[in-house]
Amino acid sequence: MVRTSKPFLRDVSECSAYSLLLFGGDLEVRATEGIVVVDNWVKLDTKARIGSLIGGLRQRVDSLLAKKIDTPSFEIANTNEMKLIVKLLVSDGHG
């Protein structure tokens, strides 16, 4: 993001809201406003429950990745968490 006379985005790629929620920056759930803020600037309208669930899923994936580093033979793709992530990304939350 570049700021001149107003903010501009350069070199960006479109992504789904779930991709951003799962792999973006820090999440802040603002339940009273009905939004989740990603990386202190992207605001997504959603229920606080979704933000909390995604936050928990991200923590679980972080621990799975740490396990994969410690045990390279560990099959991370076969875990329930990774199957859920694939389903969310493919269906964009509609399935």
Q: Is the pLDDT assigned to residue 88 strictly greater than 90?
A: no
The structure's pTM equals: 0.72
Segment 8-27 shows an average pLDDT of: 85
- Average pLDDT of the chain, as a whole number: 88
Number of domains making up the chain: 1
Q: Extract the tokens encoding 37.
A: 């803020």
More confident residue, 7 or 80: 80
The residues, any chain, with a CB within 8 Å of residue 2's CB and separated by 6 or more, are 8, 9, 10
Domain, as residue range, for 35? 2-91
Q: What is the pLDDT of residue 68?
A: 95
Q: Is 42 helix (H, G, I), strand (E, B) or coil?
A: strand
Per-residue confidence band for 95, with pLDDT thresholds at 50, 70 and 90 = low
Strand order in the sheet with 27-30: 27-30, 35-38, 42-45
48-70 and 80-91 are packed helices; what angle lies between their axes, rounded to 10 degrees? 130
